[in-house]
Structure 1
Amino acid sequence: MNGTMPELLTPAFRALSARLGQDPLQVQGPGGNTSIKSGAVMWIKASGTELANAETADIFVAVNRTAALSEAHEIYGDGSCKSTILDPALKLRPSIETTFHAALDHAVVAHTHSVATITHAISPEGRMVLADKLADMPFVTVPYAKPGLPLTREILARIKPETQIVVLQNHGLIVCGKSVDAVSDLLQEVENRLAMPPLKHKTADPANPAPEGFVWSEESWIAFDPQIADLALTGTYYPDHVVFLGPALPVRDHDGAPPAILIKGQGILIRKDATSSQKAMLRCLSDVLARLPADWTVDPIGPDAEAELLNWDAEKYRQALAEQR
């Protein structure tokens, strides 16, 4: 641990990370990440680990921020930042989003998959409402890009020195500050302004027994709302849905063994052996769609973006770690 400044991982930083990770309206499964930096050292959540465990497990890795910055600005490296780890004995990889954490010149950075933010950020009308709600705050909105270096490029093209809030279209939220308390307070203010109560509520449980190997999901209400069901069947709205559930939701079982299946008018089936990450992503979809106003249109990420995520080695690594839980 020599030279890695473990003292940066304060109880307050771990507590903030754990609180975000344990709130499904902020982070789902292994999604989201936090970082804290000083000089040339930055600690960041490791890929595939869960923020919920920040106080009970070693989920953070120390990286050379100077080297990570060089990858962020595409001076050298491939953007994975795997070679920037300060302790080569560690088996974990730094988050696939290490480059933007390094590029943001703030001591503490928190990136969440905030349900309130996603609900606004997947919709043209929602983004206009969000701009009004955050009008007096130091925020920018960044268009969708593949997580990692492509997203970092988009962020660097738009942030200013005063930027502390980054809204990621079809993805989530980044909040930055000089201290853990400052980030915690700013994030709470953003959440308060963007809060959207559910407009839809759980219906009665499906009447028919589930087929072999499946159970009916608690999110089956989606299948009973024709407009919402069509959204779930025809588009994917943020990266982690693709990574853990595949594109959109299928209407039948097939050789790809989809973890969840939507049957209109009956419910959503989920496999009995579904991972906690898959269940968390299905709940996230439910939480987002339940808050979406009926007169808002939505922008899926599209088949090309889905294919990029499905064939990406970094996400296959994260999936493999999730399957161990």
Structure 2
Amino acid sequence: MPDTPADFKAFRAMSAHLGQDPLRVQGPGGNTSIKQGGVLWIKASGTELAEAETREIFVAVDRAAALAEAQGLAGDGSCKATVIDKALTLRPSIETTFHAALDWAVVAHTHSVATLTHAITHEGRTAAKDKLAGLPAAFVPYAKPGLPLTQAIMARTTPATQVFVLENHGLIICAANVDATTTLMEEVEARLALPARPVVPDLPDTAPPEGFVWAAESWIARDPRAAALARAGSYYPDHVVFLGPALPLGDHDGQPPAILIEGTGIALRGRATASQRAMLRCLSDVLARLPADWTLEPIGAEAETALLDWDAEKYRQALAARS
């Protein structure tokens, strides 16, 4: 195995800090990487950044080989073949290709609530461009995670670009070292911060459907606008992966992790995973910060189907279900 970078301890601490903040990362979402020479250390698919200091969640890959996959010159874009230690069973993140392609030592990708709230609306993206003026930022249209997203990012980057706002997806910050990455991320978060309006957290006083419990996010079902948005579509990939398309109004085939009962509450299946619970909280955090005059834009049925039928996401779901 290759030696880890000199600042690997600081890198792990930064990663854990991001993963432990639900306003930055939810469950197994997000990923971070650090480069040293020809080696790229990247979070493994399905692991959680929150555990970066307590578990071995990073996989060493051959950066040149990963870059070749990013450029479509080799492999299938999964970067599974680029793992240096062939005995490892963990896979590198499905987004390893853009980490390899971005020519910065440290890359941090989060599903920041502040960024998401801007990135899922036309008005928000326009506002974000104004708020981030003066920073080396690029705005990337929605693309399926993995190689399509990498290609969309590379089409809009320059050697100076360090901030990427990903439409209906999240945020990427790049810098020369851990401290610079953290400083730039805090600057972006401060500029994009939106106040959360007060919500009533009371749980319904009626019994939930059999096999369910009332979720702390039940306020969504009692707020007409929030309820309409929650059932209208999915706004970012991890919602689709862990909760399914939108929030259904009823149970079907015993599958939906959560159902929205309008005017009453959100019923969460008793066996819901930690990842599913985290994504329900994310939806609540986003909707609580959404300005009244911003119009949400779902990713659409075609994009949802592409995520649900993807083996890479089925693998991540399976790992998350064990936690």
Give TM-score scaled by structure 2 length.
Answer: 0.99
* Residue 223 (structure 1) aligned to one of 198, 205, 221: 221
- Please tell me whether the aligned partners of residues 48 and 319 of structure 1 are also in contact (alpha carbons under 8 angstroms): yes
Structure 2 letter corresponding to 1:252: G
Structure 1 residues 255-264 or 199-208, which shifts more? Answer: 199-208
* Cα deviation digits, residues 115-159 of structure 1 (max 9, x gap): 000000001000111001001100000000000000000000000
| Closer, same or farther: CA 33–152 of 1 in aligned 2, 3 Å | same
SS in 2 for 1:28: coil
* Residue 313 (structure 2) aligned to one of 312, 315, 318: 315
Whether 1:22 aligns to 2:20 is yes
Query: Over aligned residues, Cα RMSD in angstroms?
Result: 0.9
* Residue 126 (structure 2) aligned to one of 125, 128, 133: 128
| Closer, same or farther: CA 148–169 of 1 in aligned 2, 3 Å | same
Residue 7 of structure 1: how far off its partner (Å) = 3.7
* Cα deviation digits, residues 147-174 of structure 1 (max 9, x gap): 0000000000000110000000000000
Structure 2 letter corresponding to 1:121: A
Structure 2 letter corresponding to 1:152: T
Gaps of 5+ in 2: none
* Residue 286 (structure 1) aligned to one of 284, 287, 290: 284
CA distance in 2, matches of 1:56, 1:202: 36
1:42 alignment counterpart: 40
* Residue 57 (structure 2) aligned to one of 56, 59, 66: 59
- Please tell me whether the aligned partners of residues 200 and 291 of structure 1 are also in contact (alpha carbons under 8 angstroms): no
CA distance in 1, matches of 2:118, 2:87: 42
- Please tell me whether the aligned partners of residues 121 and 169 of structure 1 are also in contact (alpha carbons under 8 angstroms): yes
Whether 1:199 aligns to 2:197 is yes
Gaps of 5+ in 1: none
Residue 38 of structure 1: how far off its partner (Å) = 1.6
- Please tell me whether the aligned partners of residues 215 and 266 of structure 2 are also in contact (alpha carbons under 8 angstroms): yes
CA distance in 2, matches of 1:189, 1:176: 13
1:92 alignment counterpart: 90
CA distance in 2, matches of 1:213, 1:192: 41
Aligned residues: 323
2:234 alignment counterpart: 236
2:80 alignment counterpart: 82
Residue 213 of structure 1: how far off its partner (Å) = 1.1
Give TM-score scaled by structure 1 length.
Answer: 0.98
* Residue 100 (structure 2) aligned to one of 99, 102, 105: 102
* Cα deviation digits, residues 269-315 of structure 1 (max 9, x gap): 00111100000000000000110011101110000000000000000
SS in 1 for 2:172: strand
